[in-house]
Structure 1
């Protein structure tokens, strides 16, 4: 029973750490960054349910948690491609805020976004000198966590091997 709870904690850790990096060192998230967080919350909920349900039902819920983590990895892959210029972002919120079409300063101020946004094609680096953006690190984490969860979901989830 301990393994599903570990997966729930590891799933919740990813968006919680991302929110922490917003506070310190002050990394601004873009729209794709925010989208990558939601599947982790779904995975955490499914893994918690898997820990409470025995047998086959718990294993299927754990597989669902792994799929949710893979969904975050898919969004991360999309984000890495946008950062590298391989393709444009499908989200309009990923574009840098424009100056607007106003003719006066008041019109321009009214056109500004209520909250500053970061364009999705601008990579954020957490560790200086390490050429891995936060989106790339999330992709790696999601693939590892989903793979481990899938592998263990097929077996007895009682122990932590």
Structure 2
């Protein structure tokens, strides 16, 4: 029966996989993050740290549940960001940033990354939308599994 062990594994695997995908997209395919993309990464960093803590600190149920909440937070930010990309609502900032930092020799050479334009999608779902789906479902699964009592 699934329980705490699976919750702890998911609490590490989900943010590691999603952060890994974000960095592969960024450095492998040139899909630089906008400001709101970064906002989605921060809770995943926290979730990964909390998930790892569930393996070394007591009580593990609390650490994995906190990781689940951090992952859900990233998902909610992703849902908000997807809504901005799809034009369902306005973002809370102008949200455009120069990718990769400012090029000292030619500042105009660095691409401008906007939050209201999805640079990539699969089946009509943007990266922010996929983050919303995977993080929300995964975070809820972690919370449910963390709450289960172990069977003797």
Q: How does 1:73-88 map to 2 (within 5 A)?
A: 73-88=75-90
Does residue 145 of the first structure (1) align with residue 138 of the second (2)?
yes
Aligned length, in residue pairs = 141
Rg bigger for which structure?
1
RMSD across aligned C-alpha pairs, in angstroms? Answer: 2.6
Higher relative CO (CA 8 A, sep ≥ 6), structure 1 or 2?
2
How far apart in 2 are the matches of 1:79 and 1:115?
A: 23
Spell out, residue by residue over 1:96-153, the C-alpha distance to the aligned partner (whole angstroms, 9 max, x if none).
Answer: 77xxxxxxxxxxx99x5794331111012244xx211111111000111101101110
CA drift at 1:20: 0.4
Does structure 1 retain, via aligned residues, the 8 Å contact 2:35–2:96? no
Does structure 1 retain, via aligned residues, the 8 Å contact 2:39–2:77? yes
How far apart in 2 are the matches of 1:30 and 1:157?
A: 42
How far apart in 1 are the matches of 2:35 and 2:70?
A: 18
Give the alignment partner of residue 125 of structure 1, picking from 120, 125, 148.
120
Partner of 1:41: 45
CA drift at 1:18: 0.6
Distance 1:115 1:35, change over 3 A: farther
Does structure 2 retain, via aligned residues, the 8 Å contact 1:80–1:136? yes
Q: Which runs of 5+ in 2 are unaligned?
A: 99-103
Partner of 2:101: none
How far apart in 2 are the matches of 1:69 and 1:125?
A: 22
Does structure 2 retain, via aligned residues, the 8 Å contact 1:2–1:157? no
Q: How does 1:80-99 map to 2 (within 5 A)?
A: 80-92=82-94, 94-95=95-96
Q: Which consecutive aligned stretches of 4+ in structure 1 deviate over 6 angstroms post-superposition?
A: none
- Secondary structure (helix, strand or coil) at the match of 1:85 reads coil
TM-score normalised by the chain length of structure 2: 0.80
CA drift at 1:91: 2.6
The structure in which a higher percent of residues are strand is 2
